[in-house]
Amino acid sequence: MAKSFTDEDDALLAELGIEVENSVAPSRSATEERVIAGFEEVQRFVADHGRAPQHGEGKDIFERLYAVRLDRLRESSEFRSLLEPLDHQGILVSSNVAAVPNVEELDDDELLAALGVEAETSDITELRHVRPSAEKRAAEEIANRERCRDFERFKPLFEQVQDELDSGLRSTRPFEKKAEIAPGRFFIVGGQKAYVAEMDEEFLTAQGMTDARLRVIFDNGTESNMLMRSLQRALHKDDAGRRITDPVAGPLFADQTADGDEASGTIYVLRSKSDLPIVSANRKVLHKIGVTSGKVERRIANAKLDATFLLAEVEIVATYELFNINRAKLENLIHRIFDSARLDIEIKDRFGNPVVPREWFLVPLFAIDEAVDRIKDGSIRYYRYDAEAASLVKI
């Protein structure tokens, strides 16, 4: 005998996302109900965006899924007749859509999923193509973004974070707890960097849990006003979701090694003795910045034969010892900081071949000193180099 359920049992199972087969036959089949539910998701998208979902690699995954679903519903006379009385937006008859992908390659389960139809399950606990409503809302909040109109404010922050990841000042680690979500923090979710720019006051949900509305900026120039718990769920669900750590505390350089430290090399700053007009006119502010794992004196021994040294003797004006740090990444970071002041010059090497030296910068020595100090204490992320002012300026 089939077990009967009370209204309270039905409500509990509904909260768990499990449907109960009623003893009285419903007016619509389970498949029809699921198709209607899938169509209602498309309708919500149209209501939110003012247009039908479209195909294309530039669209988010949910819009592309809705577009496939809508195409199949339009093609099916059975489903169209079911849905036309519910189509108050007229989207079943609209032709204003992009080219349809090759959905014929979808297998049965994928096609059913695209239509919002669940495959038959062998057991009530085996739910396929079903996501809890809370998870679905969280995923949609991640997907439903809009263009960030003031992205130029945030673009330098993302560039700086990438520089600091490259240099080892920052690292990534798995997301652990809600407390990590706070204004000024960076995350990786859905393959993109996300910056928590703002957080409203916390409030209690209907379940008695704390939550808050966020303004999250993404490195592709979009933003989302999502809930804190939505971001938290998205990070937990994403196998590649990460928190980007704050800059490493403590100095990157030292005058002497501590126990366990290993010397990594030397940053050197050189000044050219070349007679080239552009060098003569800017000798006091034209510097070559590089890194070597050996003695600087050995590195510059044959400078007059090397086009990267402008085929001239050089003098050492500053050095900074490195310990326990990736030389190449740090050199790349420094070069990025001063990229706007990079010398644009092409010379011929001693064999007559054209060479473009890339490590010469029109930067005063005090600005290089300040940049190194700010890399040491981690504050470089708040600064950029202004070539016109010839100094670091706060972002």
Per-domain boundaries in the chain: 7-130, 145-244, 263-394
Highest-pLDDT range among 39-53, 109-123, 316-330, 342-356: 342-356
| pLDDT of 97 | 41
Domain boundaries 145-244, corresponding CATH code: 2.30.30.30
Q: Does the reported pTM lie above 0.95?
A: no
| pLDDT of 124 | 39
Average pLDDT over the chain, rounded to whole?
A: 78
| pLDDT of 248 | 54
Alpha helices in 197-314 (DSSP H): 228-237, 277-281, 296-299
Average the pLDDT over each of 31-40, 230-239, 341-350, 383-392 and give the range with the smallest value: 31-40
Residue 381: partners with Cβ closer than 8 Å, 6 or more residues away: 157, 160, 161, 164, 169, 247
Highest-pLDDT range among 185-199, 243-257, 320-334, 364-378: 185-199
Q: Cβ(118)–Cβ(2) under 8 Å? A: no
| pLDDT of 262 | 53
pLDDT one-digit tens code per residue, 221-276: 999 998 999 899 889 888 888 999 886 544 455 445 555 555 577 899 999 999 99
pLDDT band at 131 (very low <50, low <70, confident <90, very high): very low
| pLDDT of 163 | 83
326/269 Cα distance (integer angstroms): 18
User: What's the Cα-to-Cα distance from 35 to each of 39, 86, 223, 265, 280, rounded to whole Å?
Assistant: 6, 12, 31, 65, 76
Please tell me whether residue 387 adopts helix, strand or coil conformation. Answer: coil
pLDDT band at 385 (very low <50, low <70, confident <90, very high): very high
Supply φ then ψ for residue 172, to 5 degrees: -115, 150
Whether 194 shows a pLDDT value over 80: the answer reads yes
Alpha helices in the chain (DSSP H): 7-15, 30-49, 61-75, 77-83, 108-114, 133-143, 151-167, 228-237, 277-281, 296-299, 327-337, 365-377
Alpha helices in 272-364 (DSSP H): 277-281, 296-299, 327-337
Q: How many CB atoms lie within 10 A of CB 264?
A: 17
216/353 Cα distance (integer angstroms): 50
